[in-house]
């Protein structure tokens, strides 16, 4: 079946112009200034912008073990509402994803849902013990992480990076020295970031830093990149939009100076991707101090408003941050609006103001400090393989 999207402003990492998009059998067949065909379904998108669907490198779907907070189904619905068709899920479930049995069960159930493409991260160490490495050869996942915990023993990280390189896997690091962060959370992140970079440099191997939040950490990463090492990093929407706020997240909301430095790093090309660290919690768990916030449904409008409207970032760069890097890293045929790519697309109204309303989120959890705040950029519809999975009534 063929579908023709007409008159849209088409934006990806390389493009920003009015174009038509022809979709056939779930893939992009043509992208041209004008495509006219008979006997094909046409959707006029002259009022909207079409971008590649977003790719989330870092989310928590809590399944198995904590499905009262989120599960594969509700997490996937939240992703679609936020414009995402690919999500990389962290391993801190119950049981932790350290065995092929747990991994395969999650992947199988995700495929059966047929909503989005789900990737499951596998732990670096067995059950996050920080000592014993998982056998990476038993998993086809592209990424590994003990997210939520830093790997505090240098020898363990060295061996983990060496083995990850052997098996062509990327470690996503939570940079935190937990002993130091009890005293000084900023120092805890900065010290471990610097140490982890030095170990990765010694092995000349890839390493990806999760939710970078401080001036010191982003500047250390920038230095390593300028030296030519394959270091990559992500920042979260809340770390570029909030400061001096007592809302518990991990790492914490920082200072205005950190926000400004992260935005500069994004504009300078230092930051590789925006990742939400979507972290659903029940009201009871949040009241007890559980760190984190939901983020999939609000990531685009926050990022677009803060980066593009308020700080002059080229929207093509935003597309690269939200789609291209993640697609390339996870090895999916997405992230650009180009002939031969999967027709995973998001339709947005850049001029529409959006009020984030916690109670209207489709995630099971409503823990967000953005409740009742307004941003620009409404997600109108999300296409997965050329099929509208969210927002059909909006077009």
Within 8 A by CB and 6+ apart from 227, the residues are 201
In this structure, are 217 and 94 located in the same domain?
yes
Instruction: State which residues form the domain around 298.
Output: 52-337
Helix or strand holding residue 284 (H, E): helix 283-287
Closest by Cα among 210, 216, 215 to 233? 210
Q: Point out the domain boundary residue: 311, 337, 363.
A: 337
Q: Which residues are catalytic?
A: 277
Identify the CA nearest to 294 among candidates 253, 236, 251, 226: 236
Which residue, chain included where needed, has tokens 């109204």? 349
Judge if 7 and 133 occupy the same domain: no
Helix (H, G, I), strand (E, B) or coil at 327: helix
Number of structural domains in the chain: 2
Q: φ and ψ at 372, to 5 degrees?
A: 75, 5
Measured distance CA(54)–CA(394) in Å, rounded: 19
- Answer yes or no: do 286 and 349 share one domain: no
- Same domain? 227 vs 79: yes
Judgement on whether residues 80 and 145 belong to the same structural domain of the protein: yes
Contacts of 130 (CB under 8 A, 6+ apart): 146, 149, 151, 152, 153, 156
Residue 359 CA: distances (Å) to CA of 59, 216, 297, 356: 20, 37, 12, 9
Q: What pLDDT tens digit does each residue of the chain (395 aa) get?
A: 799 999 999 999 999 999 999 999 999 999 999 999 999 999 999 999 999 999 999 999 999 999 999 999 999 999 999 999 999 999 999 999 999 999 999 999 999 999 999 999 999 999 999 999 999 999 999 999 999 999 999 999 999 999 999 999 999 999 999 999 999 999 999 999 999 999 999 999 999 999 999 999 999 999 999 999 999 999 999 999 999 999 999 999 999 999 999 999 999 999 999 999 999 999 999 999 999 999 999 999 999 999 999 999 999 999 999 999 999 999 999 999 999 999 999 999 999 999 999 999 999 999 999 999 999 999 999 999 999 999 999 99
92 close to 122: Cβ distance less than 8 angstroms: no
Specify burial of residue 284 (Cβ count, 10 A radius: 0-12, 13-18, 19+): exposed
Verify that 208 and 85 share a domain, yes or no.
yes
Same domain, 93 and 113: yes
**List of residues 6+ apart from 200 with CB closer than 8 A:** 161, 206, 207, 224, 229, 230, 231
Q: Are residues 46 and 158 in the same domain?
A: no
Query: Are 238 and 354 in the same domain?
Result: no
Same domain as 246, residue 101:
yes
CA distance linking residue 335 with residue 346, whole number of Å: 11
Count of helices and strands (H, E) across the chain: 11, 16
Backbone angles phi, psi at 164, to 5 degrees: -60, -40
Half-sphere exposure of 372 (CA within 13 A, CB side): 0
Q: Of 337, 358, 380, which residue constitutes the final position of a domain?
A: 337
Say whether both 157 and 269 belong to one domain.
yes
Q: Could you count the other beta carbons within 10 Å of the beta carbon of residue 371?
A: 15
Q: What share of the chain is helix, strand, coil (3-state, %, to 5)?
A: 35, 25, 45
Say how far apart CA 136 and CA 142 lie, in whole Å.
10
Within 10 A of 231 (CB to CB), how many other CB atoms are there?
A: 24
| Residues 322, 309 share a domain | yes
* CATH number for the domain that contains residue 295: 3.20.20.140
Contacts by 99-105, CB closer than 8 A, 24 or more apart: 100/138, 100/139, 102/64, 103/139, 103/141, 105/64
Measure the CA–CA gap between 162 and 155, rounded to whole angstroms: 11
pTM assigned to the model: 0.98
Residue by residue, DSSP assigns 180-236 as HHTT-HHHHHHHHHHHHHHHHHHHT--EEE-S--SHHHHHHHHHHHHTT--EEEEE-
Q: Which of 337, 365, 383 is the last residue of a domain?
A: 337
């Amino acid at each position: 079946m063929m579908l023709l999207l007409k008159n849209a402003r088409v934006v990806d990492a390389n493009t920003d112009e009015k174009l038509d998009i022809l979709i056939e059998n779930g893939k992009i067949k043509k992208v041209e200034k004008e495509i006219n065909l008979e006997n094909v379904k046409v959707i006029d998108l002259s009022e909207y912008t079409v971008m590649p669907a977003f790719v989330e490198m870092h989310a928590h779907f809590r399944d198995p073990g904590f499905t009262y907070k989120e599960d594969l189904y509700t997490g996937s619905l939240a992703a679609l509402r936020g414009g995402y068709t690919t999500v990389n899920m962290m391993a801190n479930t119950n049981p932790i994803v350290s065995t092929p049995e747990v991994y395969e069960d999650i992947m199988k159930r995700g495929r059966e849902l047929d909503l989005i493409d789900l990737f499951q991260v596998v732990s670096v160490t067995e059950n996050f013990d920080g000592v014993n490495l998982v056998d990476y050869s038993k998993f086809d996942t592209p990424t590994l992480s003990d997210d939520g915990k830093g790997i505090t023993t240098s020898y363990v990280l060295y061996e983990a990076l060496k083995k990850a390189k052997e098996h062509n896997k990327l470690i996503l690091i939570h940079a935190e020295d937990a002993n130091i962060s009890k005293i000084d959370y900023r120092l805890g992140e900065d010290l471990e970031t610097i140490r982890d970079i030095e170990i990765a440099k010694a092995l000349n191997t890839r390493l990806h830093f999760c939710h970078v939040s401080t001036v010191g950490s982003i500047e250390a990463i920038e230095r390593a990149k300028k030296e030519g090492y394959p270091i990559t990093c992500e920042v979260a929407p809340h770390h570029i939009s909030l400061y001096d706020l007592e809302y518990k997240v991990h790492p914490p909301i920082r200072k205005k100076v950190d926000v400004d430095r992260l935005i500069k790093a994004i504009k300078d090309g230092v930051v590789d991707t925006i990742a939400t660290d979507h972290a659903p919690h029940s009201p009871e768990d949040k009241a007890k101090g559980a760190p984190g916030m939901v983020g999939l449904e609000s990531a685009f409008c926050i990022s677009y408003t803060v980066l593009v409207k308020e700080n002059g970032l080229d929207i093509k760069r935003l597309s690269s941050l939200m789609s291209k890097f993640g697609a390339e890293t996870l090895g999916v045929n997405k992230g650009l609006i180009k002939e031969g790519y999967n027709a995973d697309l998001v339709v947005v109204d850049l001029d529409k103001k959006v009020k984030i309303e916690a109670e209207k989120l489709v995630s099971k959890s409503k823990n967000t400090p953005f409740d009742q705040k307004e941003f620009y950029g409404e997600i109108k519809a999300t296409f997965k393989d050329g099929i509208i999975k969210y927002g059909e009534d909006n077009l």
